[in-house]
Amino acid sequence: MKFLDLCKVYIRSGAGGGGCVSFRREKYIEYGGPDGGDGGTGGSVWAEAVDGLNTLIDFRYQQHFFAKNGIPGMGRQRTGADGDDIILRLPVGTEILDEDQETVIADLTELGQRVQLAKGGNGGFGNLHFKSATNQAPRRANPGQDGVERTLWLRLKLIADVGLLGLPNAGKSTFLAATSNARPKIADYPFTTLHPNLGVVGVDNTEFVVADIPGLIEGASEGRGLGDLFLGHVERCAVLLHLIDGTSESIGQDYSTIINELEAYGGELADKPRITVLNKIDALDDDERAEAKAILEAASGGPVMMMSGVAREGVTDVLRALRGEIDDDRLRHRPAEEAEPWRP
């Protein structure tokens, strides 16, 4: 399944059915009077968050969604049938934006959440509705109300507890593969990861979700590399895990590059709790580790953890540090008998 996290759709609610002008004309009934029914209400367009979806690929091949129109009223006081609604089934975490791509109409963050995007038009009144003591034979009816037509953008932001940040080849996919059942592509060239990956990580009888996004490079906010659009997938995370390649010759600059891109992206992303980790320490001796850690601590101005995703050295400590930054209501606790022993 191809991953797609941004698409454009065109929706239109149904128009209401027109009212009917009709009179009762039967033998032996001298004064039948008006009996035109009202028109039916047009169908509405709804969005609903459903389970089992993690991409918007379905909306690449169908962008137009039109609800049914209401049926016009008929004689003998018959009201027209209402038009059928149409429902856009979306993954949990989808943002619905107006045509300007800035105004947020709805944010579907919970399973089963529904929101009305376009209301169907009301049906028109038939001439029976206008009957009165002074107007016993009205010959007018209302037309149905027009439907609402809109152009919307759908943007998917994956629901995860931890977001992985780093330059290409910082070891993000290796970390995800080492700590979960996810199998992201791992190779020794930049931009191996082309779309976000999710993995469920367990430590100390608790589980949380980790999101791996494509690597950032300097100028990503201006469109270089794969850009910074994928940062939307870590906006909902409780904590960010910033991985730095310990074998790099510019550790301090690598750290500053990611932080600058976070600040350029805007929002609250740069202010989220962040754990900085020096990765790939299996390729360094003790002196090189100490030197690299000192450089990174000076650049970050805070504590630095050390880890090797390949050798699984220090991985458990990093997972426990991440768990400490996540609220208990976001964690999934497993009974001790179901827990699998962690093998570092």
Q: CATH for 1-156, among 2.70.210.12, 2.60.40.10, 3.40.50.1100, 2.60.40.420? A: 2.70.210.12
- Binding residue per annotation — 281? yes
Q: Tell me whether residue 280 is annotated as binding.
A: yes
To the nearest whole number, what is the mean pLDDT of the chain?
Answer: 89
At residue 228, the 3 state secondary structure works out as coil
Residue 310 has pLDDT above 50, yes or no: yes
309 is in an annotated binding site: yes
Backbone angles phi, psi at 25, to 5 degrees: -130, 100
Ligand-binding site membership of 260 (annotated): no
User: Is 173 within any annotated ligand binding site?
Assistant: yes
Between the CA of residue 3 and those of 110, 183, 193, 216, 277, what are the distances in Å?
21, 15, 12, 19, 29
CA 221 remoteness from chain centre:
20
Q: Are the beta carbons of 192 and 240 closer than 8 angstroms?
A: no
pLDDT for residue 226 is more than 90 = no
| pLDDT at residue 335 in the model | 60
Is pLDDT of 338 > 80?
no
User: Is the pLDDT assigned to residue 320 strictly greater than 80?
Assistant: yes
Instruction: Please tell me whether 213 is known to bind a ligand.
Output: yes
| 251 in a known ligand binding site | no
Q: Tell whether residue 170 is among the known ligand binding residues.
A: yes
Q: Does residue 171 have a known ligand-binding role?
A: yes
Tell me if 172 is assigned to a ligand binding site.
yes
Cα separations (Å) of 99 from 65, 151, 329? 16, 6, 35
Q: Is 282 annotated as a binding residue?
A: yes
Residue 208 vs residues 116, 134, 196, 328: alpha-carbon distances, Å:
32, 72, 16, 10
Q: What is the mean pLDDT of residues 16-36?
A: 90
Residue 45 has pLDDT above 90, yes or no: yes
Q: How large is the average pLDDT for residues 245-252?
A: 90
Residue 42, annotated ligand binder? no
Q: Where are the domains of the chain?
A: 1-156, 162-333
Q: Is 168 annotated as a binding residue?
A: yes
Give domain 162-333's CATH number out of 2.60.120.10, 3.40.50.300, 3.90.550.10, 3.40.50.2300: 3.40.50.300
Does residue 167 have a known ligand-binding role?
A: yes
55-113 pLDDT tens trace = 898 998 899 999 999 999 999 999 999 999 999 999 999 999 999 988 999 999 999 99
State residue 264 phi and psi, 5-degree precision.
-70, -30
The predicted-structure confidence for 254-293, as pLDDT tens digits, reads as follows 999 999 988 888 778 888 899 999 999 998 999 999 999 9
